[in-house]
Amino acid sequence: GALYNHFLNYGIKEGRTASPYFSIKWYREKNSDLKAAFGNDNRKAFEHFLKYVKSEKDRNMSPILDCRYYRTRYSDLSKMSEFSLMSHFKNNGTKEYRQGSANFDPISYCVYNPDVYKVMGLANSYYHYMRYGINETNPNRKYTNVKSNLGNDFYATITDSNSGKNL
């Protein structure tokens, strides 16, 4: 449609993100072979993505979705292709608040940023992070997590309530 054509003709040249599940800038920067092959040419990198995403292994799609991480973290996804993983993440993973990347944990993001949780809710924290959080310079905005293994399947973030530092 018109939005897709606008993205292809203008948005991609400007480095805009067309989806919260795929960032052309992130894809190009995190996959060094693409950076070497295409430099800053977003269109060529996007064409590469469209042509090869179904067959190439372990591509880093965006700050919130790294297929290798997502596949490894959740055993029920171990046999899925990258394209299937992207679909699963979009249609199921975000609704189940799954962590698609080591760079972003939606639950920790909402715990650290109650203003985001209050306005956006947990399900929309992915969108908020991609649209705003990743680019914010506010020192109070946190999106990373520190986890300590406290047992078989229980993890917790421990923060000093006086200093706000993770222990």
Residue-wise pLDDT for 93-149, tens only, equals: 988 999 998 888 888 888 888 888 888 888 888 888 887 877 776 656 555 544 444
* pTM metric for this prediction: 0.62
Count other C-beta atoms under 10 Å from residue 138's C-beta. Answer: 9
Is residue 25 within 8 Å of residue 17, measured between CB atoms? yes
Q: Which residues pair with 10 in a beta bridge?
A: none
Residue-wise pLDDT for 36-48, tens only, equals: 888 888 888 888 8
